[in-house]
Structure 1
Amino acid sequence: MKRKILTKRGRKAYARRKVTAEPVIGQVKNTVLPRFSLRSLTKVQGEFSLACAVHNLKKLWKLGWELPSLAAQAA
């Protein structure tokens, strides 16, 4: 890894980490899911998927997003 970071391409790729996955994982761990409650990989994957869904719904709610009304869909 040290050798990869020494290249220009490696530094650019490593710099992208702070704006892609790491902030989201930190936000999920601090707000929604500080630790897993279940055991086994399948159950943990389900729990993590639910935590990610909650995280995304919270983001939409903060932006003021609303579900379209059923009356508007029927028309």
Structure 2
Amino acid sequence: TGLETTDAGDVYRLRKQTVEPIFGIIKSIMGFRRFSLRSLAKVTTEWTLVALAYNCKRMARLHVA
């Protein structure tokens, strides 16, 4: 049960590789650690802008290479 099965462990390892580094980059490199606004609609808009900034930065870096 849990992460002891090989299938669950494989899925968890894949998730760690693909998703979690993005949040680390947004926190450490981009400096986004907390939301400035309140209400779900405003937080959603703020997160959308953060994700847009990350994606633009990533696309610019990939385009140069």
TM-score w.r.t. the length of structure 2 is 0.82
Amino acid in structure 2 at the alignment position of 1:50? L
Unaligned runs of 5+ in 2: none
Distance in 2 (alpha carbons) for counterparts of 1:7 and 1:41 = 37
Aligned to 2:23: 25
Pair 1:35 & 2:34 matched: yes
Deviations 1:9-45 (A, max 9, x none): 1100110122221111111122152211001111111
Structure 2 counterpart SS, 1:34: coil
Indicate the percent of aligned positions where both proteins have the same amino acid: 37
Structure 2 counterpart SS, 1:33: coil
* Aligned positions of 1:1-75 closer than 5 A: 3-30=1-28, 31-64=30-63
TM-score w.r.t. the length of structure 1 is 0.73
> Whose radius of gyration is greater, 1 or 2?
1
Query: Following superposition, which runs of at least 4 residues in structure 1 exceed 6 angstroms of deviation?
Result: none
